[in-house]
Amino acid sequence: MNNVVHELGHAFNNRLGKLPENLLSATQETAWSPCYIPNFPNRLDLGENEDTGPNYGFASEQGVLMWQMNSGGSPSEEFADMFLGWTFDRWQAPPSSTNLPDHGKMRADWMDKYMPYFIWLALWKD
């Protein structure tokens, strides 16, 4: 089920000419862009079956195919997993210390901010 939703996230991204992944990339990496968010989680690129990694804001670890259905670090794969997290409202729990960044909330807030706009675009785009 989670993989199906992940794949739907790819289809949604493609429907919008990859706008979601490009916006996510700019959020993570393009310091001069208006949508850049410092310290936004950005997972490393792990190959298939290549160990596990942190949650990066998702509700399971990297390499555990539950809430990160792909271990790739590309914005396309991260957006597909954020689409999954947004669909079920499942994110990494807040950190125990308020001094640490809440990566789950950062990803959830990003989706809540842009998804209404993306859905509107998907409806009207030819």
Residue nearest to Zn ion (CB): 70
The residue among 79, 108, 110 whose CA lies nearest residue 94 is 108
Q: Which of the stretches 53-61, 74-82, 84-92, 112-120 binds Zn ion when contact is defined by CB under 5 A?
A: 74-82
**DSSP H stretches of helix in 16-74:** 19-29
Distance set, CA 51 to CA 22, 42, 71, 85 (Å) = 27, 17, 9, 22
Report which residue type is found at 80. Answer: A
Select 63 or 101, whichever has its Cβ closest to Zn ion: 63
Select 1 or 100, whichever has its Cβ closest to Zn ion: 1
Select 25 or 70, whichever has its Cβ closest to Zn ion: 70
User: Nearest distance from residue 10's CB to Zn ion, in Å?
Assistant: 5
Q: Which of the stretches 12-20, 32-40, 78-86, 105-113 binds Zn ion when contact is defined by CB under 5 A?
A: 78-86
Structure-token pair, residue 35: 């949508």
User: Nearest distance from residue 84's CB to Zn ion, in Å?
Assistant: 10
Main-chain phi, psi angles of 106, to 5 degrees:
-60, -45
Report which residue type is found at 5. Answer: V
Maximum C-alpha span of the chain: 47
Structure-token pair, residue 81: 């997993």
Q: Is 70 in the site for Zn ion (CB under 5 A)?
A: yes
- Report how many residues bind Zn ion under the rule CB under 5 A: 3
Q: Is 80 in the site for Zn ion (CB under 5 A)?
A: yes
User: Nearest distance from residue 77's CB to Zn ion, in Å?
Assistant: 5
Which residues of the shown chain bind Zn ion in the complex (CB under 5 A)? 70, 77, 80
